[in-house]
A and B are shown apart, each in its own frame.
Chain A
Amino acid sequence: MKELRLMKGNEAIAEAAIRYGVDGYFGYPITPQSEILEHLMAEEPYKKTGMVVLQAESEVASINMVYGGAACGKRVMTTSSSPGISLMQEGLSYIAGAELPCLVVNVVRGGPGLGTIQPSQADYFQTTKGGGHGDYRLITLAPASVQEMYDFVGLGFDLAFKYRNPAMILSDGVIGQVMEKVQIEDYKPRWTDEYIKKSFPWATTGKNPGKPHIIITSLELDSEKQEKVNIHLQKKYKECQEKEVRYEMIHCDDAEYIFVAYGSSARICQKAIQLGREKGIKVGLLRPITLWPFPSKILGELAGKVKGMLSVEMSAGQMVEDVLLATKHKVKVDHFGRFGGIIPTPQEVLHALETKIIGG
């Protein structure tokens, strides 16, 4: 039975977690995403599904609680906003190194430093290029609606378990705070301990008689072996790049110009397309849904067909570097961004296209 509800993006994350059968949430309050923990505490999922919800002493503790839970084969998650996500980078590196699945949500605010509590997309580099130490990747989903906030909780966990790697929902303060209607699912039961033990032999579920004990670690002191660990990780990431790229194309069929934008910037671009087409400018939108793996192939193909691309981001220009790598200078590419918590208007975006790409 499908039910429609009017929800904030942050509430959608919390509700989806309960209904998807998530086992544990560990988090620390920070604006603009505190509604996630508030909603979870108000809903008391420990009474409904047995889900554990705990307000930790810090984001550092939260991500390490996630490590402990994920190592048991449980579906565990945390959420935060930019400064808190910075604190989690060490833990994320360990989780990726130990090949543990988990979900992390970043409702991005403006930086650097304490920055602002207003929306931003300036954590793209941190999320898609590393953030923590070592060669690892985060499977990164970028929701552009409250419905996608809801849907990507399940998708994020599915991908995280498929690849035994942390998944990140890279949202922003707009998508976290805006209210939209959401189709919500029925409650799914949590995985039983028996199912986890059978399905995830890598997890610490209690030593099996006659079998070696399970060790979850990211440490390998022998460099020959550590290189093999890295080669294995890179092979996994390559498979992920081949199979898991997701994107949406809007009005690209006849387009001479392309906006490349994700999250709330993609929503603004949709209005800018309408304004542009009213003026006779054939412009479309390529919206990456996975920021990593990045939709490089389709952008490379579009580069041979269109006259120019504008990467629109609420940052000083981060994703534009991936657009440039994907299009290999075969087409004119530029960036338009506002930052520090300023949300660009569709008129500004269209003006940037006209001046930087069409007339530039």
Chain B
Amino acid sequence: MSKDIIKPENLVYRRTPVLTKNTMHYCPGCGHGTTHRIVAEVIEEMGIQEQTIGIAPVGCAVLAYNYFEVDMQEAAHGRAPALATAVKRLKPDFFVFSYQGDGDLAAIGTAETIHACNRGENITMIFINNGIYGMTGGQMAPTTLEDMKTATSPYGRDIAMMGNPLKITEIVAQLPGTCYVTRQAVYTPALVRKCKRAIRQAFENQKENKGVSFVEVVSNCNSGWKMTPVAANQWLEENMLAFYPLGDLKVSK
């Protein structure tokens, strides 16, 4: 193959410089890698790499700081919105985003999530919901569906015993401090493009100090769900989206 085809006009895809060259540790088929990429592409396209600080969670994305080529802070479990609050207030000209999973954002960090949203911090919160604790080996999450089997609900989530799956995104949409609350997914190319537009909006809102922009990404966990990547995406569409329907929950003018 001739090298002359490597020309700008032939370029259809390239790695964004807002991602490092580190190999991601995410399982093949996992939505984290795609979500990382589109967040990074948004940062690149907005030209804000040097004015962005990201907050990584505890969970599968704990090492997100190794992948985003922006200044990063790694928070204690659930506390990313508290860190983001301080960073944004002390550096109001910066773009600040937190990146959390369901256990981090909707279980141990519920108070930090609710209060950062209620105060109307001018930050972007990215929330990956795959209904399971991936990093610790597939335990029940606050968002685990009824009857869903996990390592700590081996016979399925029994609502009477274990409580209900939590729709935290619907809760934060009720709070006056949020300006944009949306639920997206990244398991098809069309949905990736749509999710990227939502993330772009969520970052653009920071320019206008409108409050929290909250993007839930309903994702998969083929390792934790014990399925092939393809089967996991089918299961996501049939089960997760039935309980967590996609779309905007709140768009403030």
What is A's interface to B at a CB cutoff of 8 Å?
A: 23-24, 26, 52, 54, 56-58, 60-62, 64-69, 71-72, 74, 76, 90-91, 94, 98, 193, 204-209, 213-219
Contacts and interface: CB of A to CB of B under 8 A. Distances in A.
B195 to A, nearest CB: 24
Contacts of B49: 207
B69 A207 contact: yes
A61 B109 CA distance: 9
Interface in B29-67: 49-53, 55-56, 62-63, 65-66
Contacts of B85: 54, 61, 65, 68
Interface string B79-102: 100111111011100100000000
A64 B94 contact: no
Given A213-B69, A216-B74, A206 B89 contact: no
Nearest to B95: A206
23 contacts: A24-B89, A54-B85, A60-B79, A61-B112, A64-B82, A68-B55, A68-B73, A71-B87, A72-B91, A204-B71, A204-B72, A204-B73, A206-B52, A207-B49, A207-B52, A213-B20, A213-B70, A213-B71, A213-B72, A214-B71, A216-B72, A219-B62, A219-B63
A91 B72 contact: no
A64 B68 contact: no
Contacts of B72: 204, 213-217
B74 A207 contact: no
B231 interface: no
Nearest to B68: A213
A61 B111 contact: yes
B112 to A, nearest CB: 6
B53 A219 contact: no
B74 A215 contact: yes
A208 B50 contact: yes
B230 interface: no
B86 A206 contact: no
Nearest to B53: A204
Contacts of A58: 111
Contacts of B66: 215
Interface residues of B, number: 36
Contact of B76 (A23, A54, A91): A91
Contacts of A60: 79, 82, 111-112
A257 B63 CA distance: 57
A61 B72 CA distance: 19
A71 B74 CA distance: 10
A218 B84 CA distance: 17
A56 B82 contact: yes
B86 A94 contact: no
**Most A-side CB within 10 Å, residue of B51, B65, B71, B94:** B71
B76 A52 contact: no
**Most B-side CB within 10 Å, residue of A90, A207, A214, A218:** A207
A3 to B, nearest CB: 29
Contacts of B62: 219
A68 B82 contact: yes
B241 interface: no
Contacts of A193: 91
B50 A65 contact: no
A57 B115 contact: yes
Contact of A216 (B73, B76, B89): B73
Contacts of B74: 98, 215-219
Nearest to A54: B89
A218 B58 CA distance: 11
Contacts of A66: 86
B197 to A, nearest CB: 25
B107 interface: no
**Most B-side CB within 10 Å, residue of A76, A91, A216:** A216
B246 interface: no
B242 to A, nearest CB: 33
Given A61-B112, A207-B71, 17 more contacts: A24-B86, A24-B90, A52-B89, A60-B111, A61-B79, A64-B112, A67-B75, A67-B83, A68-B87, A72-B91, A76-B86, A98-B74, A193-B91, A204-B87, A206-B52, A215-B66, A215-B72
